[in-house]
Amino acid sequence: MYRPVGAFLQADACEFTVWAPLAETVSLELSSPRVQSVPMHPDAWGYWSVTLPNIKEGTRYAFLLDSELRRPDPASRHQPEGVHGDSAVVGPGFAWNDQHWQAPPQKDWILYELHVGTFSPEGTFAGVIQKLDHLLELGVNVLEIMPVAQFPGGRNWGYDGVYPFAVQHSYGGARGLKQLVDACHAKGLAVILDVVYNHMGPEGNYLRDFGPYFTDKHHTPWGQGINFDDKHCDPVRSFFLQNARMWLEEFHLDGLRLDAIHAIRDSSAKHLLRELSEMKAELEAQNERQYILIGECDLNDVRYLDPTERNGFGLDAQWIDEFHHALHALTTHERMGYYEDFGDSGQLLAAFQRAFVYNGQYSPHRKRRFGSDASHLPTWRFVNFAQNHDQIGNRMMGDRLATTLSFEALKLTAAVLLLSPYLPMLFMGEEWGEDTPFMYFVSHGDPDLIEAVRTGRKREFAYFQREGHEVPDPQSEKTFQGSKLNWEYANDPQKRLLWQYHRELIRLRREHPALGTGTRDAMQFELDASQHLLEMTRTHGEHRLCAVFNLTQTTRSTLWPHTGHWRLLHNAGDAQWGGSASVPEQLKQTDAFIVPPYGVLVYETTTAATT
């Protein structure tokens, strides 16, 4: 019933297949090396195909629907002339060197999110390869790459992709991405890719011309929902499942980050995400390696993470926005929008304790009860962050925390993130306190669409414009160039020191036994609400570690609550980290001590030292 779609080049022939169930006729139009039109043949399910000999890699082609509409291949693997140009045949060959690769266990992941176009001066996959040693020295072990499916022009976050199977040509195409993955695996880095299965971009989106890829049954913030559960939905589901399989098998990726899964509207008895999880499990058994599916979800619904045998969707992990919101509201004192639900230190405590801050109680922002209980899930099933592309780029100026917070507050956020029991993720440049913005940018070719995007951004930030601020033009090359990382950070002593501080925290996380467990019964969290002192105690075997976080810019004094003898392991206010705070090297129960403004103190003990 379901057939692989696209152009599949073999040694002596190439098979072209496209799903167009409502078309009366479909022809394959070859434009190189010579112009040729070849009728295609349908099957009972609306798939049209033809196999031709003597087709070479790079051959340009399109499909002619009902002798009227000439369109690129929806499953194109290469769009060398952009979203409106002909598709090109891509060969399967690539000399991989990662035959024995296995990703680190999920519980040990330390992620690093990057945007290919702005991460390096080159803005390409090759440019990322040149910076891999920086990431290795920092200590991260997983790259999370923002979407690379072909989008209009050469500048975009990636969420306007319209050819899910084609790798953005300006980044280096399919070969460039494979080279990056191969290079990462050679250095011990896993790679996951952000994919978008909840909507398609507007420009170059010709799917409607081929068939009912969209439905009025559901609507999303981007328009009609993708047809996962209406008439003719089965080949549409197959289209996206084939895409996920391609990334994992053909590109050797270690997993996928699934964008806004709450907007994947599917009322089928078996949700698309569950089917995706089952397919992933089959690939794991077949290829004898692990793949990870991480969802971005705005619903605080454990159904997405619960196993399929419990009627869940079986995803491996989920982003926890509420951890970010709780930390951001406390450190910046912002209360607009969804931050109105946050700002109390008790909410950060809740995030530490159970991942979801709102697990069924009333949300003032939503004006209703919200969320479910995730406390039965291990902490390594959640990804937390202090910054990411959304939380920076969806601000009017794309401003990062480094433009708002003091050096000491930046160290606090780093410690809260990297010492928490969840899988931490850094956003590119965060490790040195990058203050270059990450703004919203596009490079559309449709004048009406360009104006609509500009108008939409201005409407979204109308309040700030009244305060005298100007919304950056998303279409401008200047906006894109202004979002590129400044790799001269090492020339700034404070930025270099912050980078070293992140490296030290990552080393501590990876090496200390008590920080390596995700078992909830091995960790405790306490809050002195009157002083906004948050305490985390974690245990592994004979090893115990206690971290105290001062969430304010005021010096706090308190008493050590634990029995036994404890040794200072880390002081964020130490001179080596740019501070001048002197704290006790040893502590025992009821000893008085101070915690400096935005201070982070970490003490350790062993079972022998507590008896």
The answer to whether residue 296 is catalytic is yes
Q: Do β-strands 523-528 and 533-540 pair in parallel, antiparallel, or remain unpaired?
A: antiparallel
Q: Could you tell me how far CA 416 lies from the centroid of its own chain? A: 20
234 carries a ligand binding annotation: no
The reply to whether 262 sits in an annotated binding site is yes
Residue 257 labeled ligand binder: yes
Task: Check whether 227 is labelled as a binding-site residue.
Answer: no
435 included as an active-site residue: no
What amino acid is encoded at 387 in this protein?
Q
Return the closest-CA partner of residue 109 out of 403, 327, 316.
316
Per the CB < 8 A criterion, the answer to whether 556 and 567 are in contact is no
Residues with Cβ within 8 Å of 238's Cβ and at least 6 positions away in sequence, in order, are 2
Per-state percent for the chain, helix, strand, coil, to nearest 5: 30, 25, 45
- Write out the two tokens for 598: 């935005």
Integer Cα distance of 14 and 11 in angstroms: 8
Residue 259 labelled as part of a binding site: yes
* Residue 324 assigned as binding residue: yes
Question: Is 394 flagged in the annotation as binding?
Answer: yes
Give CA–CA dist 89/57, Å, rounded: 5
Q: Name beta bridge partners: 27.
A: 39, 64
* Residue 391 is labelled as binding a ligand: yes
Exposed/middle/buried for residue 39 (C-beta within 10 Å: 0-12, 13-18, 19+): exposed
d(CA 182, CA 252): 8
322 is in an annotated binding site: yes
246 and 165 Cβ atoms separated by less than 8 Å = yes
Distance separating alpha carbons of residues 415 and 224, to the nearest angstrom: 42
* Catalytic-role residue among 259, 266, 535, 604: 259
**Cis peptide preceding 33, ω within 30 of 0:** yes
**Which residue in the list 296, 430, 431, 604 is annotated as catalytic?**
296
Do residues 313 and 303 make contact, with C-beta atoms less than 8 angstroms apart?
yes
Q: Is 261 annotated as a binding residue?
A: yes
Strand partners, 363: 368
Compute the radius of gyration of the chain from its Cα atoms.
26
Amino acid letter, 510 = R
6 has binding-site annotation: no
- Check whether 100 is labelled as a binding-site residue: no
Strand partners, 384: 424
Q: Is 390 annotated to bind ligand?
A: yes
Q: Rounded to an integer, what distance in angstroms lies between the CA atom of residue 150 and that of residue 164?
A: 7
Q: Is 321 labeled as ligand-binding?
A: yes
How many Cβ atoms sit within 10 Å of the Cβ of residue 177?
A: 24
Active site residues: 259, 296
Summarize the annotated binding site for substrate as residue ranges: 257-262, 321-325, 389-394
Summarize the annotated binding site as residue ranges: 257-262, 321-325, 389-394
